[in-house]
Amino acid sequence: DERNRVGGGPGDPGGGGLCGVDNNCDGNVDERNPGGGGPCDTGGVGQCGVGVLNCTDGALTCGPVFAQQAEVCDGLDNDCDGTADEGNPGGNVDCDTGEQGICASGTLNCEGGNLRCVRNANDLQPESCDGLDNDCDGRVDENIAIVGRPCETGNPGACQTGVFACNAGTQVCVPDHAPLPEICNALDDDCDGSTDEGNPGGDNFCQIPGRLGKCGSGLSACVDGRVQCIGENDPQPEFCDGFDNDCDGQLDEGQLAGVGDDC
């Protein structure tokens, strides 16, 4: 039967022998699988189509090498359904990409017959103040664009303005000024919501410019953001007391009350 002939023929010890024939004349047929062992196609799908020739009952048959099994990531059709690596076998598992920052977090994915750790972040992101390494350079919260820009703190007075800063992953507005002792400038220096309270710079004796005598004596007061000398005396009739009562720059001049009276 030429269909079962592979290699040499009867009496040809160098040939492969025929299946179903006592090729070596030892009284036994088909020992050592004559004609078998070679690859063949079983007619199945995927790995189930991979076969090997076997000499069985005097005939060569193609037997499967692989049994149908669960799909694994190897580029082959293990479950013999006509598709290789479907369903991402071995994938959808957390993994470490070996990169830095948010790029270190990944998920296993079956690609080209191999499991690959694909980072979860699709692209590098600009660094933001969140305590994470967004740009995957191994540093956290560096070179953030908004840091140093002006902002409103929500505090009163001089503490109202500030600049943005990143503090422990949180964006904050840091005041430009710390609370200071109140001075007379129409500003809320101590950031308590009140302006020039407590009469800063006031309650001191002072001389009113351009006024003479008692009219020039005053007491300092904080008015409209400026320390001013407020007079307490208006011109009075001159009296013999060693003071310039009528504020004309002279002491005890003119006809003084009581002067010349009998005494």
Supply the pLDDT for residue 63: 86
- The pTM assigned to this predicted structure is 0.46
pLDDT value of residue 34: 83
> What is the structure's pLDDT at 16?
58
Task: Name the token pair of 129.
Answer: 């103040």
Contact yes or no for 197/209 (Cβ under 8 A)? no
Quick check: 189 and 205 in contact, CB under 8 A?
A: no
CA terminus-to-terminus distance, the chain: 176
Give the residue ranges of the chain where pLDDT is below 70.
Answer: 1-16, 30, 122-123, 254-263
Looking at residue 233, its pLDDT comes to 76
What is the predicted pLDDT for the residue at 30?
A: 64
- Name residue 207's beta-bridge partners: 217
Tokens of 143: 């070179």
pLDDT of residue 102: 86
**What pLDDT does 82 receive?**
92
- The alpha carbon dihedral of 75, 77, 79, 85 has a sign of positive
Residue 128: predicted pLDDT: 92
State the Cα–Cα distance between residues 75 and 79, nearest whole angstrom: 12
Residue 27's CB is within 10 A of a number of other CB atoms, namely 6
**Secondary structure class of 249 (helix, strand, coil):** coil
